A and B are shown apart, each in its own frame.
Chain A
Amino acid sequence: MRLAKLFLIPFLMLAAGSALFAADKIFPYPYVQEDLPNGLRLITIPTDYPNIVALYIVVSAGSRNEVEPGKSGFAHLFEHLMFRGSPEFSPEKYQAVLSEAGAASNAFTTDDYTAFHTTFSKEDLPRILSMEADRFQHLAYDPAAFRTETLAVLGEYNKSSANPASKLQEVLRATAFTAHTYRHTTMGFLADVEAMPGAYDYSRQFFDRYYRPESTTIIVAGDVDPKRVRALVGERWSTWKRGDYKAQIAVEPPQDGPRTAHVDWPSPTLPLVAVAWRAPAYSDSTEDAAALDAIARLAFGQNSPLYQKLVVDEQKADSLRASMADRVDPYLFTVTARVKKAADLDAIERQIEATAQEFAAKPVDPAKLDDLKRHMRYDFAQQLDNSEAVAETAALYVALRRTPESADRYYDMYAKLTPEDLARAARQYLTERNRTVVTLTSVGGAK
């Protein structure tokens, strides 16, 4: 088979006693990356963790791809439907194979992608790769099975519905976005979830559009030989037909001024506030997203002056966190706080906004930025403590740029960030015009 692309990344073993900063690549494992002629990408990552293999199959379709009105939540529903069997492997037979392999198997859906992951003993790799090839190419479920699965999805909505943080996120997205599909959560609008049982035909169309080799990447990490994995994948996945669908995802127009929303929560809870700004998409080549990530950590993380003030000293909030989410399209920079007294809610919101302004007005202390850079590298290294985590981390970057190399590029860029980069990003993005604030309080008042 023709090798469309082949990388063999040099490897620097992190032996005990070595300094992390001697490593020039943040993603320390060598891997082989190759595209099959049908567009399917295979990334094989041998690790030094024995016996275990972690398989991640990443499909570049998430709730971002739910472009038709009334169809929010379909990428997630589809994650469920993938376990509904094929002519060769009924759901029972599929499960039996996983059980015999002692496999831990699951799947999850995000805004941008859906991942199917299985961790098992190395001797079961051929069987599992073959079975997965079967369901990705020959998934078959009847309308009755489809309708039953929609109820499991409603059950998933129900299990999260007691948590006001889920509602806060729902309302924040629906307020901050008017056109782009990031307007809804991955779970989808409740009305759409409740209407799913009637959408069997659409579900087949969704599969036909997105479950295609050119949208899919297979990551195999662990106790594996790349040549053998390549042969196994070639054997069973080469027959998968390429598709041609391109989703037309609406571009969100620039925000034209601050927005607010409020949620009345029916039972006792502590007040919540989310302050969010429209932010750029993930990038491993321009600094803005990385600079905003650094602000999220320095301005609102556990070590930040604001956290120390609100959570540790004054103890007016019991949680303060911020995230600059990595997304394919522009999304949000979000700060959330859980506040002990509703009377403090407004003041805390203002302090969050003022903190963002301070970052725009004055470059951060370079020593703090250096500490953060060290933190980021150690944090990354400590996450890679088993093959499943290696595959999962690779999947994050595969979802964004279809290669773990993006992690190296992103962290290299992060290492070069300057205080002025942060200030510039704050001035550009953390503006009043770009801001959405959502609050949530208990109907009966905070208890």
Chain B
Amino acid sequence: MREMMRVAALVPLAATAAMGAPRVVELPGKSPLVTIRLVFTTGAALDPADKPGLAHLTAALLSGGGTKDLTYRQLLDAMYPMAAGVEAYSDKEMTTFAGQTHVDNLDKFYGLMRDMVLHPGWRAADFARVRDDTVNALRVSLRGNNDEELAKEELYNLIYRGTPYGHENLGALGALGKMTVADLQGFYKRQYTQANLIIGIAGGYPPEFAARVKRDFTALPAGTANHFEFPAPAPPPSNQATLIAKDTRSVAWSLGYPIAVKRGDPDFPALLVAQSWLGQHRESSGRLFTRMREIRGLNYGDYAYIEYFPRGMFTFAPEPNIARHQQIFQIWIRPVEQPNAVFALRLAMFELARLVKDGIPPADFERTRTFLSKYVNVLTKTKSDELGYAIDSAYYGIPNYNEYVKTSLAKLTAADVNRAIRKYLRAENLQIVGVAKDTSQLKAELTSAAATPMHYNSPKPQDVMDEDKTVEKWPLGLKPEDVAIVPVDTIFEN
């Protein structure tokens, strides 16, 4: 029973936090906008084994249904003139309700947001609609219409198979079909507690506002804070590939494994540098981007991560409040035409192996460190971002994120980075997921000793051609039994 994992309180998140009382993170400022984030430290990791998706669906009904006093329609009508709304999302350890309003409307907006979380309407028609939306998000939007995010999501599930992280946050189609409003109410009662709540408020709110919010949320049961600890999954004995078969134009790859480093751990800043050098998200500077897209024209982009990073194709910066006690190393290869698909995978693995073996060149270390020390300002450019990061920092037990990054990077050396790379990164025992049309052909190429040369449309410099001779034969370490072909309509079923 996954919910039995709850044992004791987390390390107190703020000096003033008392057991059972909501914690408050405040960022007062001069802006005419006020941002409110209500983060419950609960999520998919606490879904009961037979009810994957329960945490998500509970949050979805609270944010996408009516309150005790207002129908969903009345709620939308009340929000409309203020151009306000509440967005909810649920990850493994955090469930977030986020909203922003102009200070003119703070009282009215806050009253609605509070009632959405404290006094949900639990109407059957709202439940039917949000459950349908969840089913369609899984079956149609993700499985049917988005190969890249599908590969990534299935990678996350495979990496953590058999652990509390090992299922899709949105759930499984079979289980969603059987869920009831009573299931959601049970989860709400157990998990939406003061001890699990972090209240975040930022912007130009009046001085007494934070105390009022905190007082209101003492209406929740006191509860005991969740504690998320489970043994890290063992790496697979060899590389493992899962090929998801569907009718599509090209091949989307994602690969990775869990890493024993998270924000706040001593080697996190060193790995942050390694990750940025290898593949800073949606920037043209990373090694993978340069070698795969810029020089070879393989695809639209290639990136690397040391933290869970969902929805990467929709966003330039990571979303806050998806903090986790266990993290992943991941490479995202954007869709490649099938004739070059295995070459692209080999090149990514070749670059990863080179990073593990040789580390980062000293000049690149300095440049990457400088980049990250400044880029952190860009990551926290809005009050809402700053608040999200502040809540995460409280959760991880680190200082203000900007200070944490700048201070810890200033102390780093290239040797620290390269030591951390050797310690935590590896180029074998990987989980690999591909979404492709001709999976039989792909499996044959992946498991054969034959070279898979790149097909170019223009001449390339000799050093690239020489490198290609190595890359096209780069060992993938995949035997036929290591490669599973899975029809797309079986994904997220159970």
Q: Which of A52, A155, A269, A389 contacts B335 (CB 8 A)?
A: A155
Asked whether, in the complex, the Cβ of B250 is within 8 Å of the Cβ of A163, the reply is no
Interface 1/0s, chain B 379-396, versus A by CB < 8 A?
001111000000000000
Whether B403 sits at the interface, judged by CB under 8 Å, is no
Q: A163-B145, A386-B381 are in contact. Are A102 and B374 (CB under 8 A)?
A: yes
Whether B319 sits at the interface, judged by CB under 8 Å, is no
Query: Roughly how many angstroms separate A201 CA and B206 CA in the complex, as a whole number?
Result: 61
Whether B282 sits at the interface, judged by CB under 8 Å, is yes
Whether B81 sits at the interface, judged by CB under 8 Å, is yes
Q: A119-B378, A303-B77, A375-B81 are in contact. Are A267 and B248 (CB under 8 A)?
A: yes
Rounded to whole Å, the gap between the CB of A132 and the closest CB of chain B is: 15
- Of chain B, the residue at the smallest CB distance from A313 is B125
Query: Roughly how many angstroms separate A303 CA and B82 CA in the complex, as a whole number?
Result: 13
Query: Roughly how many angstroms separate A92 CA and B382 CA in the complex, as a whole number?
Result: 30
Asked whether, in the complex, the Cβ of B297 is within 8 Å of the Cβ of A149, the reply is yes
Asked whether, in the complex, the Cβ of B84 is within 8 Å of the Cβ of A378, the reply is yes
Residues on the B chain within 8 Å of A147, using CB: 297, 457-458
Whether B148 sits at the interface, judged by CB under 8 Å, is yes
Q: Which of A51, A145, A162, A315 contacts B132 (CB 8 A)?
A: A315
Q: Considering the complex, which residues of chain A in the window 183-215 have a beta carbon less than 8 Å from any beta carbon of chain B? A: 197
Interface 1/0s, chain A 1-22, versus B by CB < 8 A?
0000000000000111111100
Asked whether, in the complex, the Cβ of B140 is within 8 Å of the Cβ of A152, the reply is no
Q: Which of A158, A311, A375 contacts B250 (CB 8 A)?
A: A158
Asked whether, in the complex, the Cβ of B378 is within 8 Å of the Cβ of A385, the reply is no
Asked whether, in the complex, the Cβ of A385 is within 8 Å of the Cβ of B104, the reply is no
Asked whether, in the complex, the Cβ of A152 is within 8 Å of the Cβ of B300, the reply is yes
Name which of B5-13, B184-192, B363-371, B441-449 contacts chain A.
B363-371
Number of interface residues of A (CB under 8 A): 81
Residues on the B chain within 8 Å of A338, using CB: 136, 140
Q: Which of B104, B283, B301 contacts A104 (CB 8 A)?
A: B283
Asked whether, in the complex, the Cβ of B76 is within 8 Å of the Cβ of A102, the reply is no
Query: Roughly how many angstroms separate A303 CA and B148 CA in the complex, as a whole number?
Result: 33
Q: A102-B377, A162-B248, A303-B77 are in contact. Are A152 and B144 (CB under 8 A)?
A: no
Query: Roughly how many angstroms separate A375 CA and B100 CA in the complex, as a whole number?
Result: 13
Rounded to whole Å, the gap between the CB of B462 and the closest CB of chain A is: 13
Q: Which of A149, A197, A385 contacts B384 (CB 8 A)?
A: A385
Asked whether, in the complex, the Cβ of A375 is within 8 Å of the Cβ of B80, the reply is yes
Query: Roughly how many angstroms separate A447 CA and B82 CA in the complex, as a whole number?
Result: 38
Asked whether, in the complex, the Cβ of A378 is within 8 Å of the Cβ of B248, the reply is no
Whether B417 sits at the interface, judged by CB under 8 Å, is no
Whether A347 sits at the interface, judged by CB under 8 Å, is no
Query: Roughly how many angstroms separate A161 CA and B337 CA in the complex, as a whole number?
Result: 12
- Of chain B, the residue at the smallest CB distance from A95 is B285
Name which of B26-34, B52-60, B419-427 contacts chain A.
B26-34
Whether B102 sits at the interface, judged by CB under 8 Å, is yes
Whether B105 sits at the interface, judged by CB under 8 Å, is yes
Whether A433 sits at the interface, judged by CB under 8 Å, is no
Q: Considering the complex, which residues of chain A in the window 379-401 have a beta carbon less than 8 Å from any beta carbon of chain B? A: 379, 381-382, 385-389
Asked whether, in the complex, the Cβ of A197 is within 8 Å of the Cβ of B458, the reply is yes
Residues on the B chain within 8 Å of A315, using CB: 125, 128-129, 132
Q: Considering the complex, which residues of chain A in the window 264-306 have a beta carbon less than 8 Å from any beta carbon of chain B? A: 266-270, 302-303
Asked whether, in the complex, the Cβ of A387 is within 8 Å of the Cβ of B381, the reply is yes
Whether A46 sits at the interface, judged by CB under 8 Å, is no
Asked whether, in the complex, the Cβ of A121 is within 8 Å of the Cβ of B377, the reply is yes
Residues on the B chain within 8 Å of A106, using CB: 282, 316
**In this complex, which of B102, B125, B205, B367 has the most chain A Cβ atoms within 10 angstroms of its Cβ?**
B102
Whether A101 sits at the interface, judged by CB under 8 Å, is yes
Interface 1/0s, chain B 17-32, versus A by CB < 8 A?
0000000000000111
Query: Roughly how many angstroms separate A302 CA and B249 CA in the complex, as a whole number?
Result: 34
Asked whether, in the complex, the Cβ of A268 is within 8 Å of the Cβ of B489, the reply is yes
Whether B294 sits at the interface, judged by CB under 8 Å, is yes
Residues on the B chain within 8 Å of A152, using CB: 293-294, 297, 299-300
Number of interface residues of B (CB under 8 A): 84
Asked whether, in the complex, the Cβ of A52 is within 8 Å of the Cβ of B204, the reply is no
Whether A99 sits at the interface, judged by CB under 8 Å, is yes
Asked whether, in the complex, the Cβ of A162 is within 8 Å of the Cβ of B297, the reply is no
Query: Roughly how many angstroms separate A119 CA and B374 CA in the complex, as a whole number?
Result: 11
Query: Roughly how many angstroms separate A382 CA and B370 CA in the complex, as a whole number?
Result: 32
- Of chain B, the residue at the smallest CB distance from A198 is B457
**In this complex, which of A161, A163, A268, A372 has the most chain B Cβ atoms within 10 angstroms of its Cβ?**
A268
Q: Which of B32, B296, B300 contacts A381 (CB 8 A)?
A: B32
Q: A102-B378, A104-B378, A150-B297 are in contact. Are A162 and B30 (CB under 8 A)?
A: no
Residues on the A chain within 8 Å of B488, using CB: 267
Query: Roughly how many angstroms separate A298 CA and B199 CA in the complex, as a whole number?
Result: 34
Whether A228 sits at the interface, judged by CB under 8 Å, is no
Asked whether, in the complex, the Cβ of B144 is within 8 Å of the Cβ of A267, the reply is yes
Asked whether, in the complex, the Cβ of A14 is within 8 Å of the Cβ of B248, the reply is no
Residues on the A chain within 8 Å of B77, using CB: 303
Residues on the B chain within 8 Å of A129, using CB: none
- Of chain B, the residue at the smallest CB distance from A196 is B457
- Of chain B, the residue at the smallest CB distance from A383 is B83
Whether B51 sits at the interface, judged by CB under 8 Å, is no
Query: Roughly how many angstroms separate A311 CA and B203 CA in the complex, as a whole number?
Result: 34
Residues on the B chain within 8 Å of A372, using CB: 80
Query: Roughly how many angstroms separate A164 CA and B128 CA in the complex, as a whole number?
Result: 25
Query: Roughly how many angstroms separate A20 CA and B102 CA in the complex, as a whole number?
Result: 8
Whether B133 sits at the interface, judged by CB under 8 Å, is yes
Whether B352 sits at the interface, judged by CB under 8 Å, is no
Whether B146 sits at the interface, judged by CB under 8 Å, is yes
Asked whether, in the complex, the Cβ of A269 is within 8 Å of the Cβ of B458, the reply is no
Rounded to whole Å, the gap between the CB of B250 and the closest CB of chain A is: 4
Asked whether, in the complex, the Cβ of A151 is within 8 Å of the Cβ of B372, the reply is no
Residues on the A chain within 8 Å of B283, using CB: 98, 104-105
Asked whether, in the complex, the Cβ of B100 is within 8 Å of the Cβ of A382, the reply is yes
Q: A96-B367, A105-B284, A385-B383 are in contact. Are A159 and B148 (CB under 8 A)?
A: yes
- Interface residues of chain B, those whose CB is within 8 Å of chain A, are 30-33, 72-73, 76-77, 80-84, 100-105, 125, 128-129, 132-133, 136, 139-140, 144-148, 203-206, 246-250, 252, 282-285, 290, 293-301, 313, 316-317, 334-337, 367-368, 370-378, 381-384, 457-460, 488-489
Q: A161-B249, A267-B144 are in contact. List 13 more A-B contacts (CB 8 A).
A: A95-B284, A151-B298, A151-B299, A155-B298, A164-B145, A270-B136, A270-B140, A313-B125, A315-B129, A377-B83, A378-B82, A378-B102, A379-B83
- Interface residues of chain A, those whose CB is within 8 Å of chain B, are 14-20, 48-49, 51-52, 83, 91-92, 95-96, 98-106, 119-121, 124, 143-152, 154-156, 158-159, 161-165, 197, 266-270, 302-303, 308, 311-313, 315, 318, 338, 340, 371-372, 374-379, 381-382, 385-389, 447
Among all A-B residue pairs, the 3 with the closest Cβ atoms:
A102-B374, A16-B204, A151-B297
